[in-house]
Homo-oligomer: A and B are copies of this chain.
Amino acid sequence: MKCGTLILLSFWLAVAYAEGAQDMRIEYAIALHGGAGGDWLELDAEGQAATKASLRAALTTGNKILATGGSSLDAVEQVIRHFEDDPLFNAGKGAVFNSVGGHELDASIMDGSDRACGAVAGVTTIKNPISLARLVMTKTRHVLLSGAGAERFGKAMKVDRVDQKYFWTQRRYDAWQRVKNKEQAKHKGTVGCVALDKHGNLAAGTSTGGLTNKLFGRIGDSPIIGAGTYADNATCAVSCTGVGEHYIRNAIAYDVSARMAYKGQAVDAAVEHILTKVLKPGQGGIIAVTHDGTITMQFNTTAMARAAADSTGRFEIAIGK
């Protein structure tokens, strides 16, 4: 073979390789969860189908926003609004009952591009806590507003408000009665979403009604940046679901990011370590997406309602293992 031929061949191989690499690059990615817990498996076929249909609708909403160049923050907010409006999930409309028979909702959202974040805790009249959390991020100098102060802010921002009756659902009422009768609460309900957009920005959000029969005033990990939610373009976006107290005391969401940044762990290894070595079986689940579009969705319960999609055509929905 002549030298010229060799050079041409090398050139062609290099171009093909570069094009291949480009094809493989994930332009956008999204993962979401509707809570970890064994009770998903107790639903009858109809209940499971309804849950999967809702996960599919949420995923379609988020995927479309990202595919058309929308921001990861918009995708996260809209996916979580979907869950908050669906009584199947423990967030917004479907929020569980607390120990005094009321509903107190928590949510947080974080922008990985500048680590701006916002959260609300213990709100009782806000239809979509995730949107109020985003307004705390963009319209105040604060990160976390709680209780009556958060309600007042919601009123000033003119977000949709509802009365407590809006949150009454038979399923959650029955669950509360069972827990009051000393049955173990099975539902570790929380909803969350993490996304990478075409602009390379990560975002994460989480929303919940908390634990069934929780003490009035209890705040879990969902509105706590670093515990239930974290996002940093340098590493990953994370949303957690489970018994919030364990997520707070181990700073779980931030820990996924720290393990990547300081130990060089891959995101799936970091999440696996946390779920098997830091947390105990049955305590919950974690979803994360990295700056290069790698998605991980893991849990140490028997099930987690979840879904994921990305620019390569991945589009999947699951509940059990």
Complex Cα–Cα for A45 and B141 (A): 34
Interface size class of A (residues with CB under 8 A): 35 or more
Q: Which residues of chain B are near A144, meaning CB under 8 Å?
A: 218-220, 224, 248
Name which residue of chain B comes closest to A121, CB basis.
Answer: B146
Q: Which residues of chain B are near A291, meaning CB under 8 Å?
A: none
Which of the residues B142, B153, B215, B258 comes within 8 Å of A145, measured between beta carbons?
A: B215
Taking a contact as CB atoms under 8 Å apart, the answer to whether A116 and B146 are in contact is: no
Taking a contact as CB atoms under 8 Å apart, the answer to whether B149 and A216 are in contact is: yes
Taking a contact as CB atoms under 8 Å apart, the answer to whether A146 and B122 are in contact is: yes
Name which residue of chain B comes closest to A114, CB basis.
Answer: B249
| For the complex of A and B, 10 pairs with smallest distance between CB atoms | A149-B217, A262-B262, A226-B251, A149-B216, A251-B254, A258-B258, A147-B147, A144-B219, A143-B245, A262-B263
Beyond known contacts A140-B215, A146-B218: 9 more, CB 8 A cutoff: A143-B219, A143-B244, A144-B219, A147-B217, A225-B227, A225-B248, A226-B226, A254-B258, A263-B263
The contact sample of 6 A-B pairs, CB cut-off 8 A, is A116-B249, A145-B219, A226-B226, A226-B227, A255-B258, A262-B262
